[in-house]
Amino acid sequence: MSFAQRLAFGIILALLVGAGTVYFIWQRIDEIQMSIRHDDRTERIQAESDKLLAQFIGMETGVRSYIITGDSTHLTLYARTVGEVPLTAKQLRLLMQPLTSEAASTLDFLDIVLDKKIVESNQAIAMRRDQGIKIAAYVLIKGKVANAADTITNLIQRLQRTARTANIKQYEAVPKQYHETAYLLLYGLGGAMTIFIAAALWALFAHWRALKPIVEGVEKLSLGDFYHRIPPGKTADVKPIIAAVNTLGERMLSMQGKTRQSEDVYADVFHATPDCVSVWRASRNGYGQISDFECILANNAWNMAYHRSVEYFTGKRMNSALPDFQPLFEQCKTIVEQHQKLTLPHVVEGKHYRLVASKMRDGLLLRLIE
């Protein structure tokens, strides 16, 4: 595998781990939000169970009122509620899904009580029509479901307590679930980053031998060793880099040769001129004031005028190397600071010259002309 293939493999694997982590965390957050929405579900269970109880009481009230009075108008309430009670009980069972064993047994018992109560109510209504109030009342109050209203009320209250208890437990678990989800997210993203870094290091060290000469070549180019040439590598994906570095070195070597030729020409012209020429750089103190001048270049004619050897003045200070310039020091400072030019007669070693001093960058250009 090449360097790029190894790195691409690590990126793809890291992206897969990251995407899997994000998907898993999204599922967890969705579950937590469902737990939070459970409070609304509890309220709907409360409302539906209260509705069931109200319908049952309306059904029983209609039956009892008819049996006592014999007025068939009371059967209107019974007829309306007797069909609604089973539907409400079914809806209540759907709302409480998933059912616990306790809730399932309570709902099953509630269905049995409601079915028996509806059967007995229908029998009591028929007997009231045919045999009178005594027989109908006897049928209505006999049997185990004589206190059906109290029984159903107790069952509904038990269902409501079960729903509230489950809701409280889920709410208490929400902060812990968010905390665990945050840790899972950090672990997943950290794993993806680790995989990416490991793949990058694997690709880098696998190609270290091929990359090492490139690094060395760039270092030598930066140090001016343009004659260095990197041997072609064996790995295909670094050969273009090697060729580019070699080409750069060849171009810089060519430019260096041209620059040296130009420098040699300029040096020959500078030293061949009959005028005495020197260049001085201003030396400043901590306040930015000129305290002296340092010679950075002097041609052969300048050294011969003072009867000095070649390169004598280079690096020397004006106040020590040119005592005859001390009276002119303040004027030299003015030339630099105010961009002026000075021309006056000057005597060097008993020979008369015309001194021309002008500003050159942050310093002086001095010429002695016979």
Residue pair 280/364 in contact (Cβ under 8 Å)? The answer is yes
Phi, psi angle pair for 266, to nearest 5°: -60, -40
Q: What is the pLDDT of residue 143?
A: 47
Quote the CA–CA distance of 101 and 172 in Å, as a whole number.
22
Residue 303 CA to its chain's centroid (Å): 67
Distance CA 370, CA 139 (A): 150
Domains 3-197 and 273-369 equal at CATH topology level:
no
Cβ neighbourhood burial of 314 (10 Å; 0-12, 13-18, 19+): middle
pLDDT of residue 364: 92
Query: Is 308 in contact with 349 (CB distance < 8 Å)?
Result: no
Using CA atoms, how far apart are residues 234 and 230, in angstroms rounded to an integer?
A: 12
The pLDDT assigned to 37 comes to 53
| Domain ranges (residues) in the chain | 3-197, 213-268, 273-369
pLDDT at residue number 244:
64
Tens digits of pLDDT across the chain (370 residues): 566 666 677 788 888 887 888 777 777 777 666 655 555 677 788 888 888 888 888 888 888 888 777 788 888 888 888 888 888 888 888 887 877 788 888 888 888 888 888 888 887 788 777 776 666 666 556 544 446 677 778 888 888 787 777 666 655 555 555 566 666 777 677 777 887 777 777 766 666 555 566 666 666 666 556 555 656 655 555 566 566 666 766 777 677 666 667 667 777 777 788 889 999 999 998 888 999 999 998 998 998 899 888 788 989 999 898 988 888 899 999 999 988 888 999 988 888 899 999 998 889 999 999 8
Greatest Cα-to-Cα distance within the chain, rounded to the nearest angstrom? 163
Cα dihedral across residues 140, 143, 146, 148: positive or negative: negative
Compute the distance between CA of residue 133 and CA of residue 66 in angstroms, rounded to an integer.
9
SS3 348: strand
**With contact defined as beta carbons under 8 Å apart, do 52 and 177 qualify?**
no
Pull the structure tokens for residue 141. 């109050």
Q: In what order do the strands lie in the sheet with 341-348?
A: 290-298, 276-284, 363-369, 351-359, 341-348
Q: How many other C-beta atoms are found inside a 10 Å radius of the C-beta of residue 2?
A: 14
Q: The domain 3-197 is classified under which CATH number: 1.10.730, 1.20.120, 1.10.287, 1.10.20?
A: 1.20.120
> What residue type is 252 in one-letter code?
M
Question: In whole angstroms, what is the distance from residue 201 CA to residue 193 CA?
Answer: 12
Residue 144: its pLDDT value, please? 44
Q: What is the pTM of this model?
A: 0.35
Q: Comparing C-alpha atoms, which of 122, 89, 95, 91 is closest to residue 108? A: 89
Whether the CB-CB separation of 84 and 48 falls below 8 Å is answered with: no
Q: What is the pLDDT of residues 118-157, one digit of tens each?
A: 888 887 788 777 776 666 666 556 544 446 677 778 888 8
- What pLDDT is stored for residue 356 in this prediction? 92
CATH class given for the domain over 273-369 = alpha beta
CA distance 280 to 246: 40
CA atoms within 13 A on the CB side of 41: 24
The whole-angstrom separation of Cα 359 and Cα 85 is: 110
> 239-272 and 208-222 are packed helices; what angle lies between their axes, rounded to 10 degrees?
10
